[in-house]
Amino acid sequence: MTNDTAPQSKPRPAIARHRAALGGTARVPGDKSISHRALMLGALAVGTTRAEGLLEGEDVLATAAALRRMGVGITRTTDDDGNGVWQIDGVGVGGLHAPDDVLDLGNSGTAARLLCGLLAGHDFTAILTGDDSLRARPMGRVIAPLTEMGVQTSSRDGGRMPLSVTGTADLLPIEYVLPVPSAQVKSAVLLAGLHAPGKTTVVETMATRDHTERMLAHMGAALEITETDDGRRITITGQPELNPAEIHVPADPSSAAFPAVAAAIVPGSNVYLPAVGMNPARIGLFDTLVEMGADITRDNPRETGGEPVADLRIRAGSLKSVIVPASRAPSMIDEYPVLAAAAACAEGTTVFEGVGELRVKESDRLAAVEAGLAACGVAVWTEEDRMVIQGCDGPPPGGGEIAANLDHRIAMSFLVLGLATENPVTIDDVRTVETSFPGFIETMCGLGADMAANSTEQTA
Ligand code: S3P
């Protein structure tokens, strides 16, 4: 992280090169989206929520730290196998305390936007900030509905952080049609609605991940969901008591995407990924890989804590290009950079349609993917909100030096590409990989990948 409040560390370069087929089993860390929500909804429950499998990456730890600063007791113990078990002592809906310092959310857009929703129903002021990447991201998309509900905010430079949020105990329930398909905005409004008297409704014309709805329902919130001609209407009746829950967090499909694509593009690979979340609103990447000809099987489909899960086996094969329709974007919004690695190895021209949202992620991902693929000798161009990638029908040249721009998924995607290219791929800085996939390089090496990073050096 490069923000002033965190210890400064030096950029950590990394390299990946093709060596041999990947094989074996990899345990992918817990789902980032579900982990944030387990902490936040656990914080609002009356009683103690227990979460197993929680992602212990920097993004989720930032949420835990912010909640602790507002009076929530959060502790971590370990089970007999040494895995983390998190206990969240909820303070009840509307029961947070004013934080005595700025809330630093590091690299995490989900932490920042969902916390705005949580803060909306609290009669105090909190100031939110983050690292260089997060402070450049738009917050106007959550400020707009929360302002309608009566929240006062003040922000830098047209809706960027630092952002001060002053909530109110007299929130107005609203009906809000999402102008962008964003689960973060939907969740912020629903979390605010939980604190408002009466019914708050969010309408989404394109379905986005529904972990907030699933967990709210699991914890006893009054939620109605109807599919209409105008889209999906989600209505929450505010000011109930939430029940504490036992939450088993599945492996993150967005993290499983990296070993999955690596297995699909490195010839001869055969990789097994147990207990991966299979929420239909999250698995667009796997559907797309199968459409490209990848050999993926889903074994033992089951449910844990209201979320579908399966064990995935991925075997390498030859891939064909694909046109990914805009309608699929919400179900794989974080997976385009790693899909670009697969497209670079495929036969034919792949097109990603309707991917303008990628410009406002942890970095401008369209620009980063375009620059990175070009540096690896792959023909690629963007046309407004479309990206076109000319596949190499086999190993791309590689050899690129990639700027990760504080973006964990750009760093991991190009490391994956480097496992299949003729020449090694280097990344200037992989520090942010710790936000979502702690131990990524070790996990990939465990599958036989030739990947390495410089050791971490603290400068202050
Ligand atoms: C997330 C929603 C998505 C996704 C992000 C996590 C969530 O963002 O990109 O990594 O947990 O709700 P948007 O809501 O901006 O699409």
Three-state SS for the chain is CCCCCCCCECCCCEEEECCCCCEEECCCCECHHHHHHHHHHHHHECCEEEEECCCCCHHHHHHHHHHHHCCCEEEEEECCCCCEEEEEECCCCCCCCCCCCCEECCCCHHHHHHHHHHHHCCCCEEEEECCHHHHCCCCHHHHHHHHHCCCEEEEECCCEEEEEEECCCCCCCCEEECCCCCHHHHHHHHHHHHHCCCEEEEEECCCCCCHHHHHHHHCCCEEEEEEECCEEEEEEECCCCECCCEEECCECHHHHHHHHHHHHHCCCCEEEEEEEECCCCCCHHHHHHHHCCCEEEEEEEEEECCEEEEEEEEECCCCECCEECHHHHHHHCCCHHHHHHHHHHCECEEEECCCHHHHHCCCCHHHHHHHHHHHCCCCEEEECCEEEEECCCCCCCECCEECCCCCHHHHHHHHHHHCCCCECEEECCCHHHHHCCCCHHHHHHHCCCEEEECCCCECC
Residue 334 alpha carbon, nearest atom of ligand 1: 9
* pLDDT of 7 higher than 90: no
184: Cβ below 6 Å to ligand 1? yes
pLDDT of residue 304: 85
Q: Which pLDDT score, from 0 to 100, does residue 65 have?
A: 98
Q: Indicate whether 435 pLDDT > 50.
A: yes
Which residue's alpha carbon is nearest to atom 11 within ligand 1? Answer: 33
234 Cα: distance to centroid of ligand 1 (angstroms): 18
**CATH architecture assignment, domain 14-29+252-453:** Alpha-beta prism (3.65)
Regarding the beta carbon of 182 and ligand 1, being less than 6 Å apart is answered yes
Residue 455 has what pLDDT?
76
For ligand 1, say whether the CB of 110 is within 6 Å of any of its atoms: yes
What's the pLDDT score for residue 157?
86
pLDDT by residue (tens digit) across 381-414?
A: 999 999 999 999 999 999 999 999 999 999 999 9
Mean pLDDT along residues 27-46: 98
Whether 460 has a pLDDT exceeding 50, the answer reads no
Average pLDDT, the chain: 96
Percentage, residues of the chain above pLDDT 70: 97
Could you tell me the pTM of the whole model?
Answer: 0.97
Q: Is the pLDDT of residue 448 over 50?
A: yes
The alpha carbon of 182 and the centre of ligand 1 are apart by a number of angstroms equal to 6
pLDDT digits (tens, 9 = 90+) for 137-163: 999 999 999 999 999 999 998 899 999
pLDDT value for 280? 98
Task: Please choose from 110, 213, 436 the residue to mutate so as to test ligand 1's pocket, defined by most ligand atoms within 8 A of CB.
Answer: 110
Q: What is the CATH number of domain 32-240?
A: 3.65.10.10
Please tell me the predicted confidence (pLDDT) of residue 306: 85
Percent of the chain with pLDDT over 90: 95
Closest-lying ligand 1 atom to the alpha carbon of residue 212: 12
Q: Evaluate if residue 6 carries a pLDDT over 80.
A: no
In the residue annotation, 334 being an active-site residue is answered as: yes
Residue to probe by mutation, ligand 1, list 33, 39, 134, 409, most atoms within 8 Å of CB: 33
348 CA from centroid of ligand 1 (Å): 30
Using the mean position of ligand 1's atoms as its centre, give its distance from the Cα of residue 393 in Å: 32
Task: Report CA(281)–ligand 1 centroid distance (Å).
Answer: 11
Per-residue pLDDT at 457 exceeds 80: no
pLDDT band at 9 (very low <50, low <70, confident <90, very high): confident
Residue 305: predicted pLDDT: 78
CA of residue 344 to ligand 1 center, whole Å:
25
Residue closest by Cα to atom 5 of ligand 1: 110
Of 58, 129, 1, the C-alpha closest to 438 is 58
Task: From 184, 208, 215, give the residue whose CB has the most ligand 1 atoms within 8 Å, as the site to mutate.
Answer: 184
Q: What is the atom index within ligand 1 of the atom nearest the CA of 184?
A: 14
pLDDT tens-digit readout, 22-31: 999 999 999 9
Q: Which residue has the higher pLDDT, 6 or 133?
A: 133
Catalytic residue among 31, 252, 334, 429: 334
Ligand 1 site-directed mutation target among 41, 206, 333, most atoms within 8 Å of CB: 333
Tell me how far the alpha carbon of residue 307 lies from the centroid of ligand 1, in angstroms: 17
Domain regions of the chain by residue span: 14-29+252-453, 32-240
pLDDT tens for 287-338 read: 999 999 999 999 999 998 789 999 999 999 999 999 999 999 999 999 999 9
Going by pLDDT thresholds of 50, 70 and 90, the confidence category of residue 2 is very low
**80-91 average pLDDT score:** 97
Q: 240: pLDDT confidence band, cut at 50, 70 and 90?
A: confident
pLDDT range class, residue 8, cuts 50, 70, 90: low
For residue 121, pLDDT over 60 is answered with: yes
Ligand 1 atom closest to Cα of 330? 16
Average pLDDT over residues 348-365: 98
Q: Would you say the CATH fold of 32-240 matches that of 14-29+252-453?
A: yes
In this predicted structure, the answer to whether residue 456 has a pLDDT above a threshold of 80 is no
Ligand 1: nearest atom to the Cα of 141:
15
